[in-house]
Structure 1
Amino acid sequence: MIGAGVFVVWAPAARAAGAWLFAGLVLAAVVAWCNATSSAQLAARYPSAGGTYLYGREELGPWWGFLAGWGFVVGKTASAAAMALTAVTYLVPDGWWQRPVAALAVVALAGVNYRGITRTAALTRVLLAAVGAVLVAVVAATWLGGAPGALARLEPAPATPAGVLQAGGLIFFAFAGYARIATLGEEVRDPRRAIPRAIWIALGVVVVLYAFVGIGTVGTLGPDAVAASPAPVLAAVEASPAPWLAPAVRVGAGLAALGALLGLIAGIGRTALAMARHGDLPRPLAAVHPRFGVPHVAEVAVGAAVAGLVLVADLREVIGFSSFGVLVYYAVANLAAWRQREGRLAPRAVQGLGLALCLLLVAALPVASVAAGAAVFAVGLAGRLLVRRRPPR
């Protein structure tokens, strides 16, 4: 969750809502809390690989599960490519070699995942410690420079409700990540206790950290400059009393993107495993390595797909598309948790609110993102329909 989003999401959110982007931040946090509660409740009941794909199948039926799983696999594969490209943008000098380096980074991190989830977790700890230290330094530099006071004196320009909703949907992209905890249910000790705790703790820490970073960034630059900057956090540090921190921010953003990429590959592979087990993806993807205990065929396939995308695709506008897929994924999670009878952790009102807000934020996303997302979902559903109608061999 502490990935590339915290370094880039403020710009599109400021373009949508100006200084009212903090209303969008609060809205995104509320939606994330509802979704996290539903995910924790379902993960405790179904501690198996697959996340909402599995929960949708169990509580709502196979088509609902496919809708969630397809959105996760397609949307997060594109997001993984975006993370790889973000990393090399910060870490590698401009030139034709950026895309090949990004592809090599994907292959290397897919190799880490291939060796087992304990190695994935160990590398994640290292990346998180480095990125967390950089973000603490960003907050210190911008806040000591008077960012909170400048933000308090700012008179926000009027914003439309649609702009605030769109900002919330875009900022939600940066929160997405706690669902991947639930996809690892088969590889966690005592999942009924550990997974809900991990989801709630992770979300709480991230919401607080993002609020501090957002206040420092917008307070230092102002909403107009944030909206115009491709790297607003870096620009805020350069304008702070500690511009010498800028190289560290570049490294931190690159490491954050790599950490997000590492978690994405792991989560996509586990969801693909679950879908292949039920015949919604090619069945060879369900193979589990006899030594490392990971879905190694799915991991290789995901790594190859992401590496291919970074070589050919331009994913600068991926935030809206990714938000579309993830919000649909969580809409299914909230609906499944609403229907759940055994092992409930929260009242149905929480899941109803989460479902309504997910659908509202989807509708408020940029038109191009909604159109692209709807087209991808239509292709997936049509493909499944055709496969299901084929007579067995």
Structure 2
Amino acid sequence: MDGSAAPGGPAGLRRRLGVSDAVLIGLGSMIGAGIFAALAPAARAAGSGLLAGLALAAVVAYCNATSSARLAARYPSSGGTYVYGRERLGPFWGYLAGWSFVVGKTASCAAMALTVGSYVWPGHAHAVAVAAVVALTAVNYAGVHKSALLTRVVVALVLAALAAVVVTTLASGAVRADRLDIGADASVGGLLQAAGLLFFAFAGYARIATLGEEVRDPARTIPRAVPIALGITLVVYAAVAVSVLLVLGPDGLAASGAPLTDAARAAGAAWLVPVVRAGAAVAALGSLLALILGVSRTTLAMARDRHLPPALAAVHPRFGVPHRAELLVGAVVAVLAATADVRGAIGFSSFGVLVYYAVANAAARTLTPAEGRPPRWVPVVGLAGCLLLAFALPPSAVLTGTAVLAAGAVAYALRHGRAGRG
């Protein structure tokens, strides 16, 4: 076999992505609008403990990345933790992971689309958001390789904008070292909530795992791509957070609506403001691109198992993509972007993603050494960390997330109850 098709016959997806493509898709998912938006609410929650919250979020993200990479190498098929939970823990846990991912990330797609609109044309944010969803759905429909090529451009532009902010602020006279008094005024609850909010900005490496049927040599490619993408992202986030704190301080950062542009102004670099605004819009586009890609692949996997309508499992004969799933996801996100204020969906999305990774870590604990089990502490710390951060989020996010997951569990029980009686 040449590896161009996944197991399962002619309906399999084409394997065209190498390590560099997979890393770039992960970077495009993580280095997105989160870094432009998550710093201020994290500073409000933890004050000068922001950097400690970032470190905690990174530890949990590392555990999740390691568990996900080992599982993805063992089960290189579309669906990510939906597949891992199903195979290692049972059908219900796989379903719950898939449900939390699809629902939470669909809301996150709408949030990213509206972020694009708010930066590109604030007075017409909803219209721009819908246009962005339509355009990126078309890119994904034309084939994942084109998505990877576009992601290269997005990542390069965003990294250039962030690098300009870091260099300019650190070289300015507005820097004060005493503003890095880490954690002096942070409570434990505030630190955990900041970590949960900042985790939202890391939660993109699952996109590599959900593309399991489309990477070459997945047993080698996925375990290499995930930690590389995560490590690069952590370095970038830490540099940005330190530079912004040094210029604005924790109080100034907490009060800021646009921290990176405010940091540029405080550093006396007004010329950098439009660059940052453009970078934020491009970053949100990159996140939206990868989110639509990942949600459609999990939808495909759940449709194959008839947890969602089987028609969504169709793969386009020419482009080799789950075209019906992509069109449905794009349509739902477009409706949300046109009608909803999804700021509250960020907290719900974080809750859903943390539940998703909790299932991944529980599944990784069941791997044997022969199956590539990670160090024993990794899934234990990852599972505990995910649950701790999930329930430390704002109460509205916890209540909404719990209610939606419960609704999904009830739907599963009713469906299987009818199947049992039949």
What amino acid maps onto 2:300 in structure 1?
L
CA drift at 1:217: 1.0
Matched, 1:166 2:211: no
Q: CA RMSD in A?
A: 1.4
Alignment of 1:13-92 (within 5 A): 13-92=42-121
Partner of 1:339, secondary structure, is: coil
Say if 2:292 and 2:330, in contact at 8 Å, map to a contact too.
Answer: yes
CA drift at 1:272: 0.3
- 2:27 counterpart residue number: none
Out of 347, 353, 356, the residue aligned to residue 329 of structure 1 is: 356
Matched, 1:226 2:242: no
- 2:219 counterpart residue number: 192
CA distance in 1, matches of 2:63, 2:181: 31
Say if 1:147 and 1:216, in contact at 8 Å, map to a contact too.
Answer: no
Partner of 2:186, secondary structure, is: coil
Q: Stretches of 4+ moved more than 4 A in 1?
A: 146-149, 151-157
CA distance in 2, matches of 1:46, 1:242: 49
Say if 1:147 and 1:215, in contact at 8 Å, map to a contact too.
Answer: no
Matched, 1:375 2:403: yes
Say if 2:364 and 2:373, in contact at 8 Å, map to a contact too.
Answer: no
CA drift at 1:155: 7.7
Alignment of 1:1-393 (within 5 A): 1-92=30-121, 94-95=122-123, 97-145=124-172, 149-151=176-178, 154=181, 157-341=184-368, 342-391=370-419
CA drift at 1:101: 1.8
What is the count of residue pairs matched by the alignment? 391
Structure 2 portions without partners, runs of 5+: 1-29
Distance 1:39-1:242 versus aligned 2 partners, 3 A rule: same
CA distance in 1, matches of 2:180, 2:126: 43
Deviations 1:227-255 (A, max 9, x none): 11121111111111322100000000000
What amino acid maps onto 1:330 in structure 2?
Y
CA drift at 1:318: 2.4
What amino acid maps onto 2:155 in structure 1?
L
Structure 1 portions without partners, runs of 5+: none
Partner of 1:390, secondary structure, is: helix
Distance 1:245-1:299 versus aligned 2 partners, 3 A rule: same
Deviations 1:239-297 (A, max 9, x none): 11322100000000000000000000000000000001011111111111111111000
CA distance in 2, matches of 1:53, 1:148: 46
CA drift at 1:218: 1.5
CA distance in 2, matches of 1:295, 1:153: 47
With 217-226 and 108-117 compared, the bigger mean Cα shift is at 217-226
CA distance in 1, matches of 2:189, 2:182: 20
CA drift at 1:389: 2.1
CA distance in 2, matches of 1:99, 1:140: 34
CA drift at 1:340: 1.4
Distance 1:148-1:210 versus aligned 2 partners, 3 A rule: farther
TM-score (normalizing by structure 2): 0.90
Say if 2:117 and 2:127, in contact at 8 Å, map to a contact too.
Answer: no
Say if 1:151 and 1:215, in contact at 8 Å, map to a contact too.
Answer: no
Deviations 1:162-194 (A, max 9, x none): 110111111000000000100001111111111
Distance 1:22-1:116 versus aligned 2 partners, 3 A rule: same
Distance 1:153-1:304 versus aligned 2 partners, 3 A rule: closer
CA distance in 2, matches of 1:240, 1:315: 32
CA distance in 2, matches of 1:179, 1:133: 24
CA distance in 1, matches of 2:35, 2:260: 8
CA distance in 1, matches of 2:148, 2:248: 36
CA drift at 1:150: 2.9
CA distance in 2, matches of 1:370, 1:156: 25
CA drift at 1:98: 2.0
CA distance in 2, matches of 1:327, 1:11: 21
CA distance in 1, matches of 2:144, 2:116: 22
Q: Identity over aligned residues, as a percent?
A: 61
